[in-house]
Amino acid sequence: MSATTTRIALRGDLLDFTGDPGWGETESAAVRFRPDHWLLIENGRIVGAQSESPDDTWERHDHRGRLILPGFIDTHVHMPQLDVIASYGTELLDWLNTYTFPAETAFADPERSRLGAKLFVEALLAHGTTAAVVFPTAHKVSADALFAAAQQHGMRVITGKVLQDRHSPDGLRDDVDQARADSLDLISRWHGVDRLAYAVTVRFAPSSSPEQLAMAGALCAADPTLYMQTHVAENRAEVAWVKELFPEARSYLDVYARAGLLHPRSVLAHGIWLDDADREALRTSRAQIAHSPSSNLFLGSGLFDWDAAIAAGAAVSLATDVGGGTSLSMVRTMADAYKVQAMAGQRLTAWKALHAATLGGATALGLAHEIGSFESGRLADVCVWDWAADPVALRRMDVARHLHERAFAWMTLADDRNLVQTWVAGALRHQRRGA
């Protein structure tokens, strides 16, 4: 061990996945539960796990009786929308026009962007999210501010300046040439730097002209290492509008396919109102749906058919979509996902939900070599949680008869108050007050 080696060991109940636990399986060989083990972290990377206490060359953190999980991956969330979270009384298109677009115009101001990005990144860490795919605003400064804040905290963040050149208010519209120049400049300065990656970020089909969609497709074609993020088929009025705006396209998703925006690094939020041909296009393109149950319930958008996506071979990750969603907590999001599936007569296991929020999200993003599990060599993005944070949860844990029951009760009852510590690449980045 060289003088510069940092060795950290975390003791607790280690829970992660070695593969996909499948749909509806409460017992799965893909679940790796190692109660009362030490997770070993050397120079920011996971190097193993063991039941015996490591020697005193390790900085030991004893969280006996607590749950230790890989940091959560939120595959769709909006940095500026902490200003509109929990806004009353609208569906998507009115919500955008009434609350969201006006709030986002303020991020033209570099100081507003800097403060918003700082608040946002720190809030992610305080909810146990260590990696995220994020929308800033149409302003280049908002993307710069978000990249800088994520870099400061050592986080894996994928983002890019929002493209929107029509059907948007003054102060939030760009144009094709400026948007291309801003995107290329941001790509040259941030893509592949530390743990950051650039996503060509089309807000949604209605707010980009066909010329802008073509420009976005050309950016993706020029560099296949870029991500792409957008919204698709979220709300019925939105879908009808897209049909009017793009009569030549077979479907909403097809607008993106025709522009060259569907590829393995595409992250499409929602996908509620898709058909079988769309799901087949997702399978063949290997693009993923970022399922956002909290947002879908709050904005009354609809019930996502997760089972149909799986049956079609389409990748699904899990996302908060704050501020359409009402919490940055991926735990609250998993609980909402269960309820959405219950409404559709389906059952989402704790394993499927936890997998989607960790290894599943990492795999869909092509990042399973870096994040999402406790496999040796992964960066140590790790969270320590209390199994229970109040007497009701404590009692429920006491009477749980097996591991899935316990994990499911945790996912249903826990929130950010259960979070004790957040580690990012082996550095302690958030600690509960008094912990």
Q: In the complex, which residues of this chain contact Zn ion (CB under 5 A)?
A: 269, 321
- Residue 386 touches which of ligand GUN, Zn ion, none (CB < 5 to 8 A by kind)? none
Choose between 100 and 159: whose C-beta lies nearer to ligand GUN. Answer: 100
Among 83, 234, 278, 386, binds ligand GUN (CB under 6 A): 234
Position 395, amino acid: R
- Residue 92 touches which of ligand GUN, Zn ion, none (CB < 5 to 8 A by kind)? ligand GUN
Choose between 254 and 321: whose C-beta lies nearer to Zn ion. Answer: 321
Closest CA to 96 of 234, 212, 210, 199: 234
Q: How many CB atoms lie within 10 A of CB 2?
A: 5
- Name the minimum Å distance from CB 43 to Zn ion: 36
Structure-token pair, residue 344: 């559709």
Q: What b-and-e string marks burial along 249-280, b requiring 16 or more CB atoms within 10 Å of the CB?
A: bebbbbbbbbbbbbbebbbbbbbbbbeeebbe
Please state, in angstroms and rounded to a whole number, the distance separating the CA atoms of residues 210 and 267.
Answer: 20
Q: Does 279 bind ligand GUN (CB under 6 A)?
A: no
Q: At what angle do helices 140-152 and 176-190 cross, to 10 degrees?
A: 10
DSSP state of 370: T
Helix (H) or strand (E) holding 277: helix 276-285
- Residue 203 touches which of Zn ion, ligand GUN, none (CB < 5 to 8 A by kind)? ligand GUN
Please state, in angstroms and rounded to a whole number, the distance separating the CA atoms of residues 162 and 140.
Answer: 8
Among 147, 190, 198, 204, binds ligand GUN (CB under 6 A): 204
Among 321, 336, 386, 416, binds ligand GUN (CB under 6 A): 321
Please state, in angstroms and rounded to a whole number, the distance separating the CA atoms of residues 10 and 381.
Answer: 12
Of 24-32, 92-100, 345-353, 398-406: span binding ligand GUN (CB under 6 A): 92-100
Q: Does 100 bind ligand GUN (CB under 6 A)?
A: yes
Please state, in angstroms and rounded to a whole number, the distance separating the CA atoms of residues 253 and 36.
Answer: 46
Please state, in angstroms and rounded to a whole number, the distance separating the CA atoms of residues 164 and 50.
Answer: 51
Choose between 164 and 363: whose C-beta lies nearer to ligand GUN. Answer: 164
Question: In 344-402, which ranges are continuous DSSP H helix?
Answer: 350-355, 361-364, 391-399
Q: Does 161 bind ligand GUN (CB under 6 A)?
A: no
Among 105, 251, 266, 295, binds ligand GUN (CB under 6 A): 295
Choose between 16 and 321: whose C-beta lies nearer to Zn ion. Answer: 321
- Name the minimum Å distance from CB 146 to ligand GUN: 15
Choose between 26 and 90: whose C-beta lies nearer to Zn ion. Answer: 90
Q: How many CB atoms lie within 10 A of CB 86?
A: 10
Choose between 278 and 321: whose C-beta lies nearer to ligand GUN. Answer: 321
Choose between 77 and 186: whose C-beta lies nearer to ligand GUN. Answer: 77
Which residue has tokens 């999001």?
Answer: 333
- Name the minimum Å distance from CB 295 to ligand GUN: 5
Choose between 269 and 287: whose C-beta lies nearer to Zn ion. Answer: 269
What residues line the site for ligand GUN (CB under 6 A)? 78, 92, 96, 100, 203-204, 231, 234, 295, 321, 324
